[in-house]
């Protein structure tokens, strides 16, 4: 079993070991009944003392996550306390390098009637007819697009369109500074695999996007979560933290942040960029939502202020027009991008060319008009959702009215058993995103994220009413 240990970090080694194992157990990577390595063998593998491993196992046993049997070893406990067969299959002890995979556990509930957990736009609002027509005409007129691997960096024409689009947002670059990825998730992953390694310090907002946290954890990074307030990431606190641990990379979603909805002020954007300059590090600016504002346009992107190539800017186009098409844009300068292209080639030889060409005409021609209309629709829907919140939210539940984006971020009173609430909601065919997956594993959050745009209006209103009533009953009982 492989565990990345940071021997210079602030956390003790037993703590690092127990936290990693606890994450693997909670995400199901270590399944019930699996035998953990013996204290002696894990100590040898990790080059730590047996006492260190022993301490870590003690913590896990006290938390009920594992049970130990004299002479037999320690096993992952069954939370329902039923006996499980001791399964000695070789696969269970075959090492992996996946410390965390929360996204995988918290995303895929396609069966649920009220899917509040996925931040997406319902298909009836998307320009699918238009993009579908584009697919249909391409397969007739240029069938060879289905046969070609294309350029690893992405189709040159689409990169040109994206360059022009970014220019209207104040970001000036050439199409050689643009790469096309299969969604922003892949963009984040490529940055991490290229530039982040074991022990490297990555700063993120607390809370942040689960998919990014998973990726950085997978690289063995030391993730540090920076507090946020109504102006976004507390860059003043970050600056002090950087004195202690210089950043390798800063990951931020400055506009209508996921999950919290907060937008970073211009002043902080500028200071963040200054900080990256002085530490000669990268900022990943993940920007899924800046076109989805309800009132005023958000402040300029950090990338638009960046003259020395410190910002890797990511914008998902498919998220706004056709999420299943998985087309995002990564913009970066100089040899930062060329290294990311090398990583992209090893990942998948490039994104499908047909799909790139299929979304191209819409982005080139109709995107702005569509986005303007979409903003109106989403604002109306958000207002309906927040009206229901005002009517039915149980006392003590807090939220901020979002200025854009797709999510509502609720803070529950006290520290409720959110896993239990999740179970109860699922029984009613309702899903939500538990806030703790938006933090590192140590934090137990009392937040939940609800997306109000992933269903049609009737289902959303019905589902939200049902959920808020459930929440009321739940808080009464547990309070």
Residue 406: both structure tokens together: 């797709």
**How many beta carbons lie within 10 A of that of residue 250, not counting itself?**
29
DSSP alpha helix (H) spans, 221-311: 235-244, 266-279
- Does residue number 108 form part of the binding site for a second copy (CB under 8 A)? yes
Residue ranges in 397-426 that form contacts with a second copy under rule CB under 8 A: none
Full 3-state SS string of 416-478 = CCHHHHHHHHHHCCEECEEHHHHCCCCCCCCEEEEECCCCCHHHHHHHHHHHHHHHHHHHHHH
| Binder of a second copy out of 7, 89, 240, 295 (CB under 8 A) | 89
Q: Minimum distance between the CB of residue 229 and a second copy, rounded to whole angstroms?
A: 29
Q: Minimum distance between the CB of residue 474 and a second copy, rounded to whole angstroms?
A: 29
Closer of 30 and 389 to a second copy (Cβ):
30
Cα 214–chain centre separation? 7
| Binder of a second copy out of 19, 177, 205, 214 (CB under 8 A) | 214
Q: Minimum distance between the CB of residue 363 and a second copy, rounded to whole angstroms?
A: 14
The DSSP call for residue 35 is B
Distance CA 145, CA 139 (A): 8
CA distances from 217 to 63, 223, 243, 437, 440 (A): 23, 7, 22, 12, 9
The number of residues in the chain equals 479
Tell me which stretch binds a second copy (CB under 8 A): 38-46, 144-152, 289-297, 457-465. 144-152
- Does residue number 145 form part of the binding site for a second copy (CB under 8 A)? yes
**How many beta carbons lie within 10 A of that of residue 444, not counting itself?**
12
Tell me which stretch binds a second copy (CB under 8 A): 66-74, 138-146, 267-275, 369-377. 138-146
H or E element that contains 190 = helix 183-195
Q: Minimum distance between the CB of residue 25 and a second copy, rounded to whole angstroms?
A: 13
Beta bridge partners of 431: 115
| Binder of a second copy out of 118, 226, 242, 272 (CB under 8 A) | 118
| Binder of a second copy out of 215, 235, 382, 438 (CB under 8 A) | 215
**Residues 256-295, mask of contacts with a second copy (x by CB under 8 A):** ------------------------xxx-------------
Residue ranges in 294-323 that form contacts with a second copy under rule CB under 8 A: 308-309, 322-323
Residue ranges in 324-383 that form contacts with a second copy under rule CB under 8 A: 324-326, 333-336, 338-339, 341-343, 345-349, 351-355
Q: Using an 8 Å Cβ cutoff, are 78 and 66 in contact?
A: no
Closer of 147 and 414 to a second copy (Cβ):
147
**Residues 226-255, mask of contacts with a second copy (x by CB under 8 A):** ----------------------x-------
Place of tokens 């939220």: 399
Residue ranges in 164-203 that form contacts with a second copy under rule CB under 8 A: 182-183, 185-186, 189, 193-197
């Amino acid at each position: 079993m492989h565990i990345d240990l940071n021997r210079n970090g602030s956390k003790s080694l037993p703590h690092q070991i127990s936290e990693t194992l606890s994450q693997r157990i909670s995400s199901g990577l270590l399944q019930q009944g699996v035998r953990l390595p013996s204290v002696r063998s894990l100590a040898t593998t990790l080059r730590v003392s047996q006492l260190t491993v022993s301490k870590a196992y003690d913590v896990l046993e006290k938390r009920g996550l594992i049970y130990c049997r004299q002479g037999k070893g320690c096993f992952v406990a069954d939370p329902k306390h039923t006996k499980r067969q001791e399964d000695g299959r070789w696969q269970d002890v075959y090492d992996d390098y996946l410390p965390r995979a929360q996204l995988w556990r918290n995303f895929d509930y396609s069966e649920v009637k009220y899917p509040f957990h996925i931040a997406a736009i319902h298909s009836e609002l998307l320009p699918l007819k238009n993009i579908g027509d584009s697919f249909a005409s391409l397969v007739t007129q240029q069938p060879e697009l289905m046969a070609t691997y294309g350029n690893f960096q992405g189709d040159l024409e689409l990169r040109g369109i994206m360059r022009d689009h970014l220019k209207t947002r104040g970001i000036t670059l050439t199409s050689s500074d643009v790469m096309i990825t299969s969604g922003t998730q892949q963009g984040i992953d490529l940055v991490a695999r290229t530039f982040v390694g074991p022990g490297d310090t990555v700063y993120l907002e607390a809370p942040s996007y689960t998919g990014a946290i998973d990726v950085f954890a997978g690289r063995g990074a030391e993730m540090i979560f920076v507090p946020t307030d109504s102006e976004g990431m507390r860059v003043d606190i970050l600056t002090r933290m950087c004195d202690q641990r210089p950043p390798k990379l800063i990951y931020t979603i400055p506009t209508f942040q996921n999950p919290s909805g907060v937008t970073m002020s211009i002043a902080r954007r500028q200071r963040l960029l200054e900080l990256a300059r002085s530490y000669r590090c990268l900022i990943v600016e993940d920007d899924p939502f800046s076109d989805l504002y309800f009132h005023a346009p958000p402040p300029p992107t950090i990338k638009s202020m960046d003259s020395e190539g410190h910002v890797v800017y990511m914008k998902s186009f498919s998220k706004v027009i056709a999420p299943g098409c998985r087309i995002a844009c990564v913009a970066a300068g100089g040899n930062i991008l060329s290294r990311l292209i090398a990583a992209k080639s090893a990942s998948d030889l490039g994104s499908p060319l047909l799909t790139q060409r299929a979304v191209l005409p819409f982005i080139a021609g109709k995107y702005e008009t569509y986005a303007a209309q979409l903003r109106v629709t989403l604002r109306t829907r958000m207002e309906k959702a927040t009206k229901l919140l005002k009517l039915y939210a149980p006392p003590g539940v807090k939220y901020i009215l979002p200025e854009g984006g797709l999510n509502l971020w609720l803070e529950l009173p006290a520290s409720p058993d959110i896993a239990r609430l999740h179970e109860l909601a699922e029984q009613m065919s309702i899903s939500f995103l538990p806030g703790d997956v938006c933090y590192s594993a140590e934090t137990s959050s009392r937040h939940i994220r609800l997306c109000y745009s992933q269903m049609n209006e009737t289902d959303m209103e019905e589902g939200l009413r049902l959920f808020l009533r459930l929440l009321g009953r739940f808080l009464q009982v547990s309070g």
